[in-house]
Structure 1
Amino acid sequence: MLKSAAFYASVPVRDIARARKFYEETLELGPGQEVGPGVSLTCGKGTTCLMYPSATAGEQRGSCAFWQVDDIEAVVGWLRTRDVQFEEYDTPEMKTVNGVFSAAGSRTAWFRDSEGNLMTVIQGLAH
């Protein structure tokens, strides 16, 4: 039943105004629309992202949200022009090259939003 349903992200934020500025201006998502204490942002392919206030924003270890892209180099390059910094990993299990990790037919890059949440850009997964 859920297989054909749209799936949306929600992102915890400590400072709604700061996060809204990052998502609208840096990532060029939106425009944002206030929804209760949070902000809903329009994203691609009819999806949305809800930012909501949370005292624990940025504390989870895993990625908060994913963007499926066709050209990760173009997206990473564009984000870098907007002063987004990418996570670099160099472990026996995972090594990024210029911010991008390649494995099993996919390529992935991670960055942190204004609230410290880990965000993911991925190319190559079936969709």
Structure 2
Amino acid sequence: MSSNTTDDGTPLTRARAATRLPAQDLERARRFYAERLGLHPVDERPGGLLYRCGGAEFALFRSTGAATGAFTQMAFEVDDIEATVSELRRRGVEFEEVDVPGLRTVDGIAEVDGNYPSKGARGERGAWFRDSEGNLLGVGEPIV
């Protein structure tokens, strides 16, 4: 895949991607995101909460379905993964330990070779945790 994007005139080439995460209990989710992650909604409606961080946004929406948590649903890119994981642990976030072929965490952090080829990095260091609603969230730092 090329590092250059081409606007071929289709609507999605100019669109902004927006993450939406399901929440069975919005108040429980609000508390988790505030107390554990230090994030507060910038807008809210009866059916959802909108968050902004680092120039991006994501929303939690009321859902009767439950997240499977079988894959990363959203990730935060950080400059210092050790400091971020340490601070989030201090706030009560529990990180997943993973040991599968090709991916193994050590103290909650894994090195993933080959990620972010379009960002000029040779890989990523990553860590994963679940929010109060079962969504699997990641924290990643590109390896340059």
TM range (shorter): 0.7 to 0.9
Q: Secondary structure at the match of 2:95?
A: coil
2:130 is aligned to: 112
> Is the CA contact 2:41–2:49 (under 8 Å) kept in the aligned structure 1?
no
Name 1:21's counterpart in structure 2: 31
Aligned length: 125
Question: What 5-or-longer segments of structure 1 have no aligned partner?
Answer: none
Output the CA distance in 1 between the equivalents of 2:14 and 2:141. 21
Segment drifting more, 77-86 vs 91-100:
91-100
Query: What is the CA deviation profile of residues 10-42 of structure 1, one whole-angstrom value per residue up to 9, with x for unaligned ones?
Result: 110110000011112221112342134111112
Q: What SS does the aligned partner of 2:34 have?
A: helix
Partner of 1:70: 79
Residue in structure 2 matching 1:12, options 15, 19, 22: 22
Q: Is the 8 A contact 1:20 1:32 kept in 2?
A: no
Aligned residue identity for 1:116: G
Please say which structure displays the higher CA radius of gyration: 2
Structure 1 residue 61 and structure 2 residue 70: aligned?
Answer: yes
TM-score of the superposed pair, with normalisation by structure 1: 0.87
Cα-Cα RMSD: 1.9
**Given the two structures, how large is their TM-score scaled by the length of structure 2?**
0.78
Instruction: Specify every segment of 5 or more residues in structure 2 that has no aligned partner in the other structure, as ranges.
Output: 1-6, 114-122
